[in-house]
A and B are shown apart, each in its own frame.
Chain A
């Protein structure tokens, strides 16, 4: 099956700092990628759709200025959590469609102190 990687797998940072998470499709091209967030014991919630060469589409209630998304190439999308706060601590997962379903990266566990 298709492979999607994410980096880093775990990050701990101080409140107020910014954190960048990378999502790569390793053996296929992805013009679209999706970013999800999952809080403990809850389901995945779609945050935004990342589009190569154009602006990301954000879900209702997700601040685009806080969660910056850049899809610079057909294999890389990045999510930057700006001025992170403890309430941003969560499991962030990206996915890319191939061909009719989606494959997920291994996720990034963010802890903001």
Chain B
């Protein structure tokens, strides 16, 4: 079983739609969770951290369920510029003060005009 699993998609949605991505992780000791966005042939960029209480940043809402080891990302009113691959990321091991991240395989989103 992969440490972090995501539905690879692709998700093709019209502009303005609401889309949700799901992710599960296997290491119950994981402490930090993130969603990253990666555009084609570019490096991943942090979209948002995910907190147990759930958190929102504009059109983006992230949720974490520790009991189920499940993370979600909701995008409302999707824009063309939201087209990218969304990576579910979990810290898996610590190395001193730094933490190693484990990446899901990513979910590809295309927002259509």
Residues of A within 8 A of B (CB): 1, 31-32, 34, 42-46, 49, 51, 57, 91, 93, 95, 97, 100-107, 109
Q: Known interface pairs A91-B41, A100-B32, A104-B43. Does A43 touch B106 (Cβ–Cβ under 8 Å)? A: yes
**Nearest CB in chain A to that of B44: its residue:** A104
Q: Which B residues lie at the A interface, using CB under 8 A? A: 32, 34, 41-46, 49, 87, 95-106
Main secondary structure of the interface of A (DSSP, over half): strand
In contact, B44 and A101 (Cβ under 8 angstroms): no
25 contacting pairs across A/B (C-beta < 8 A): A31-B98, A32-B96, A32-B98, A34-B98, A34-B101, A43-B103, A43-B104, A43-B105, A44-B44, A45-B103, A46-B102, A49-B98, A49-B100, A97-B97, A100-B32, A100-B49, A100-B99, A101-B32, A101-B34, A101-B49, A102-B101, A106-B42, A106-B43, A107-B42, A109-B41
- Residues of A near B105 (CB, < 8 A) are 42-43
B43 in contact with A46 (CB, 8 Å): no
Set of chain A residues within 8 Å of B95, measured between Cβ atoms = 32, 49, 51, 57
Q: What's the least CB distance linking B40 to chain A, in Å?
A: 10
